[in-house]
Structure 1
């Protein structure tokens, strides 16, 4: 069994099934048919706030059970197009915005294997997501799925990330389903992203965006696109495609890719 499937089976599925609150019609004591809407709100819940008898940690775990595998499939497919086997990418910096439970980190490790180094910074507002993300990152490390020099950190705010000495490697921002959040301030987000790139690296930057194709989920994309272009990024991909590389239901996904050239002077 591949390490990623084994990790998900043990760390997510089995934890839910083995929980004494779970029975034939419930997960963690909550009716299975209403978890998606009432517990995880389609992925947009306050995951630190208890609901009924469920804690924030319970809600994060159920999010992973219901949503994470599809997102892993989508990102793994995309990373396989971005990162070619056998090519060096100079230890990329990966900044996962709204990281959830280490989703992009697991996908990248699955794509690159344990021979390539990357430095991962997961940013999420919710402590429950950051805690579960750290557990899954540690589990991936225990599976020998990460290079021994790969690092991972989880923080609440992008502005709080300490990247250490400035580097020359590529910076990859992941914005996967982030713009679906109704409370997201796009101007502040892009400002934080450009500031982070300045602090982190002299190398180029890439922004990879995915989202549902539903119009309401994509409502903030035009502003996101415009502000990134104003910040010096070039839009290279912007398309809606039916995603079929999954055993889940095939759905239309909105993809976009932005690129900013390296700045070869100290900023």
Structure 2
């Protein structure tokens, strides 16, 4: 991913289940640390909760994003396809699809997400598309992810692993931070189709 970002391309960052822009801020912060400059990106945040999208819009003003960055928000990933294939992806590469904790949701429509990815690939055949998956490292929380991968052909695994993350739910707490082991995968796609 660093190689793609270093190339000078303006990545399209599609944050699936974006919440309050958490993964977008993390990527921009990582870019700032690694390259010493704000991230220039086309950010597309998708979340079913309008309150989360309102908070994401607020956080999009953060100085870790270059002023020329663009931000678009949707409540359904299929509604973002025209923007992605029409204006954004044709102008820039790579496309980074981020699914951070998305697959832990019991309400996730796995087939709908697979159709979205297959359609994005169909509309943007020359764009390098990466899929970043992060979820708790527990089998019971990753059933949706396993089922989703079975619906797409042409998936290529680039990297996988597990890491422990630390976090605080209350910044004023004197208790030690909580932690959780997170499993991650970085995927790309050969020419892919949806398997019904």
Q: TM-score, normalised by structure 2?
A: 0.78
Please give the secondary structure, in 2, of the residue aligned with 1:195: helix
Matches within 5 A, 1:112-261: 112-113=31-32, 114-138=37-61, 140=62, 144-161=63-80, 162-163=83-84, 164-165=86-87, 166-199=90-123, 202-228=126-152, 230=153, 232-243=154-165, 248-260=177-189
Contact 2:167 2:178 in 1 (8 A): no
- Structure 1 counterpart SS, 2:43: strand
Q: TM-score, normalised by structure 1?
A: 0.59
Report the CA distance between 1:213 and its aligned residue: 1.4
Distance 1:115 1:241 in 2: 26
Tell me what 2:26 maps to.
107
Determine the structure 2 residue equivalent to 1:90. 9
- 1:262, 1:119 → 2: CA distance? 24
* Offset at residue 225 of structure 1 (A): 2.3
Alpha-carbon distance in structure 2 between the residues aligned to 1:86 and 1:123: 22
| Maintained 8 Å contact 1:205/1:261 | no
Deviation at 1:215, TM superposition (A): 2.5
Larger RCO: Structure 1 or Structure 2 (Cα < 8 Å, ≥ 6 residues apart)?
2
Alignment RMSD (CA, Å): 2.7
CA distance in 2, matches of 1:168, 1:123: 20
* Unaligned 5+ runs, structure 2: 169-175
**Alpha carbons 1:169, 1:202 under 8 Å: kept:** no
* Cα offset, 1:201, TM superposition: 6.7
User: Aligned-pair distance for 1:261?
Assistant: 5.1
Larger helix percent: 1
Give the aligned partner of residue 172 of structure 2. Answer: none
Counterparts of 1:103 and 1:167, CA distance in 2? 25
Kept in 2, the 8 Å contact 1:170–1:201? The answer is: no
Deviations 1:11-50 (A, max 9, x none): xxxxxxxxxxxxxxxxxxxxxxxxxxxxxxxxxxxxxxxx
Distance 1:199 1:256 in 2: 24
Structure number with higher strand proportion: 2
How many residues in Structure 1 have an aligned counterpart in Structure 2? Answer: 176
Tell me the residue number matched to 2:171. none
- Deviation, structure 1 residue 128: 0.8
Change in Cα spacing, 1:189 to 1:238, as seen in structure 2 (3 Å) is: same
Closer, same or farther: CA 87–242 of 1 in aligned 2, 3 Å: same
Cα distance in 2 for residues equivalent to 1:243 and 1:131: 26
